[in-house]
Structure 1
Amino acid sequence: MRRVTVAEIMRETGLSRATVDRVLNGRGHVHPRTRAAVEDTLARLGRGEAPPPVIAADIALRVGRGMMAQMRDAWQGAGLTGRFEDLYLADEDQVLRRIEDLCRDANRPLILTAKNSDRLTDLLREARGRGKRIIAAVSDLAPEARDAFVGIDNRAAGQTAAFLIGRMLGDRPTTVGVVLGNIAFRCHEDREIGFRTALRAHFPKVVLAGEAQGEDSADLTRNAVLQMLKDHPALGAIYNVGGGNVGLLDALGEAGRAGDMLVIGHEVNAVTAPLLRGGGLDFAIAGDPVTLLAAALRHAFPEGAENLREIGLLDFAVYTRFNLPGFAHTA
């Protein structure tokens, strides 16, 4: 075994000197996948083996802070090279500028979560015409703007939320509310549609009476939910199709409804897991971000004649404070 330097490990893994040092010297908290990447690289370089082939791709995400951290962690753990673009709360012009820059190189696939818009569709259609491979993740894009979509069945997720609320509230007249993100996100639109149609079909006594526009922002969600509760004080449950759950629970606390409101949201991560543990968020509907990234990469780099569907739907589950998944504790 030859001697391996920290610099070599940094170059191979893309990790910082401080992170590599923590692994090698057993100091501080390091994610298990990060530790495994360093240890595997150390062993391989010590044996004089050639590095594995580099997978080059880019990813651009307009998702909440909790999921952003999970996806970044999964990206680093996968040993990828390429740009990781954080588009959190970026407006359309900012998103378009950064996506246009990423599309200059037609040889690198792009994994993308963004709002649907005519301008984005035009940009991505042109890039695909030059050979750029576009994978929509989490939220679907217009069919001509992407090669494939990977994510959960968002309409089924909304139906699941309706089922939980209908069964929990019982067979009695009740009003409920929904916190909307932005229908330009196909996932938000599909969740809302699934929620509304399932209530009408299976729980006709449960009436969707209130709407709050949250835009995935904690502050906007808080203010919108406070107004919804003022307009509809008898609500028995709230379903949040997007982010901003901290603001939602803050509003319930201010309105004195924190203890008697059934609340259902999405994703399980560093933001929502404490809300589940604390009892403010009763149920969270989520899939595994590592599985999501792996599926996106399979579509970004299809092998030979691999028969991948244009739409790859992933499993999701309903989580409570009693069955938090392992991915809740990442990032």
Structure 2
Amino acid sequence: MKITLRTVAEAAGVSVATVDRVLNRRDGVRSVTIEKVESAIRQLGYAPSSLAGRVQPGTSRFAFVLPRGHNPFFEALETTIQRLGDWLPYKGASFDIRHVDVFDGEVLAEALREIRQDSYAGVAVAALDHPAVREAINALKSDGVAVVTLVSDVPSSRRDRFIGIDNTAAGRTAGSLIGRFLPNHSGKVALVAGSLALRDHAERRFGFEQVIAQDFPEVHVIALREGRDDPARVHKLVEDLLRQHSDLAGIYNAGAGNAGVISALEASGRAREIVYIAHELIEENREALVRGTIDAVINQDPGHEVRSAARVLLSLTSDWQIIDEQERIRIDIFLRDNLL
């Protein structure tokens, strides 16, 4: 369904003229009305069609650079990217997808250098915080290409904007959940990540360990393992952890590869004994949450992130104003009791 100005007006309970005044930041609109309109915009994912005429063929090609391999969360991102043509009203805008090994900084940087030759107006990249990647992003910016980082950031680069959750806050949330779920708020906890070279994983680790140290002194983080978001590799890592620590009380996976954690826990017969906190409400996590293998899932909305990246890139290459509230990516927490 196409989201129009009238759709937003009906959702907010105001007139079309009022929505237009809010979008164009005109005077004479009460703050409570502005809040209603902006809330409707965020919920509907509305992108003003007035931008359509300002996006011209030949300058409206955009690229999304995503990880190579099987990752259900990024597959959900990709599905949304493929549907942007149905959702976005912009004339001539097109969105290509490039798959790269984002765990290898030199490989990712080379892919970004190749993109410089392809006349893209903007690029959204799931980025590795690596010197070569930073320089490749800076080179794109020097060429006048709009760049946003997606899910994982490179803040030392000249990128225009980061599209994703506050990953330190996500890690703190995981620490608070696991600390509260553990019997007597104590026990041994293992931390699994894809790679600490990915800034989102590193920030989640920082937030997690910060909360554990501050609020749960009887919880001990006894291991950190990197699984490169590969389920088979993660399975082996968790299998080894369970064998080495018969009293392991909790696991926090700051990355992907959750199928590996799930299979290792369930094969051990200890799935209901060990508190497990995971990221992203993908199907395998949803099912494990219902079974009780996962205790809580920290989620970010892949559809919102893709639409936000598209809106921001188009705004950066036109004169359309970015609405910060619309582009803020929320952290959601799911238990099996509140699944949608």
TM norm. shorter chain > 0.5: yes
Secondary structure of residue in 1 paired with 2:195? coil
TM-score normalised over the length of structure 2: 0.73
Secondary structure of residue in 1 paired with 2:73? helix
Secondary structure of residue in 2 paired with 1:188? helix
Cα contact 2:250–2:276 (8 A) shared by 1 = yes
* TM-fit CA distance, 1:283: 1.1
Q: Does 1:62 align with 2:64?
A: no
Q: Does 1:263 align with 2:276?
A: yes
Distance 2:98 2:153 in 1: 18
Counterpart for residue 306 of structure 1:
321
Counterpart for residue 75 of structure 1:
81
* TM-fit CA distance, 1:66: 0.8
Counterpart for residue 294 of structure 1:
307
Distance 1:273 1:301 in 2: 34
* TM-fit CA distance, 1:171: 3.3
Pairing partner for 2:335 from 312, 317, 320 = 320
Counterpart for residue 40 of structure 1:
none
* TM-fit CA distance, 1:260: 1.1
Counterpart for residue 41 of structure 1:
none
* TM-fit CA distance, 1:322: 3.4
Secondary structure of residue in 2 paired with 1:211? strand
Rate the CA distance shift 1:195–1:83 in 2: closer, same or farther, 3 A.
same
Counterpart for residue 191 of structure 1:
204
Secondary structure of residue in 1 paired with 2:61? coil
Secondary structure of residue in 1 paired with 2:184? coil
* TM-fit CA distance, 1:68: 2.1
Counterpart for residue 231 of structure 2:
218
AA of the residue aligned to 1:321? R
Distance 1:245 1:143 in 2: 30
Cα contact 2:171–2:206 (8 A) shared by 1 = yes
* TM-fit CA distance, 1:279: 2.5
Structure 1's unaligned 5+ residue stretches are 1-49, 326-331
Counterpart for residue 243 of structure 1:
256
Rate the CA distance shift 1:313–1:235 in 2: closer, same or farther, 3 A.
farther
Alignment of 1:26-175 (within 5 A): 55-62=60-67, 65-79=71-85, 81-87=94-100, 91-175=104-188
* TM-fit CA distance, 1:316: 1.3
Distance 1:67 1:114 in 2: 15
Structure 2's unaligned 5+ residue stretches are 1-52, 86-92
Cα contact 2:193–2:256 (8 A) shared by 1 = no
Secondary structure of residue in 2 paired with 1:59? strand
What percentage of aligned pairs have identical amino acids? 26
Distance 1:207 1:150 in 2: 32
Cα contact 2:146–2:313 (8 A) shared by 1 = yes
Secondary structure of residue in 1 paired with 2:255? coil
Cα contact 2:179–2:186 (8 A) shared by 1 = no
Distance 1:220 1:269 in 2: 19
AA of the residue aligned to 1:62? P
Shifted more, 158-167 versus 88-97: the winner is 88-97
Q: Root-mean-square deviation (CA), in Å?
A: 2.4
Cα contact 2:71–2:257 (8 A) shared by 1 = no
Cα contact 1:116–1:184 (8 A) shared by 2 = yes
Q: Does 1:208 align with 2:214?
A: no
* TM-fit CA distance, 1:117: 1.4
* TM-fit CA distance, 1:118: 1.2
* TM-fit CA distance, 1:237: 1.0
Distance 1:89 1:121 in 2: 13
Distance 2:258 2:147 in 1: 30
Distance 2:292 2:183 in 1: 20
AA of the residue aligned to 1:121? R
Distance 2:118 2:100 in 1: 19
Secondary structure of residue in 1 paired with 2:163? strand
Distance 1:272 1:56 in 2: 35
User: How many residues are aligned here?
Assistant: 273
Rate the CA distance shift 1:272–1:86 in 2: closer, same or farther, 3 A.
farther
- Render the CA deviation track for 1:218-241: whole Å, top value 9, x for unaligned: 111111112222232211111000
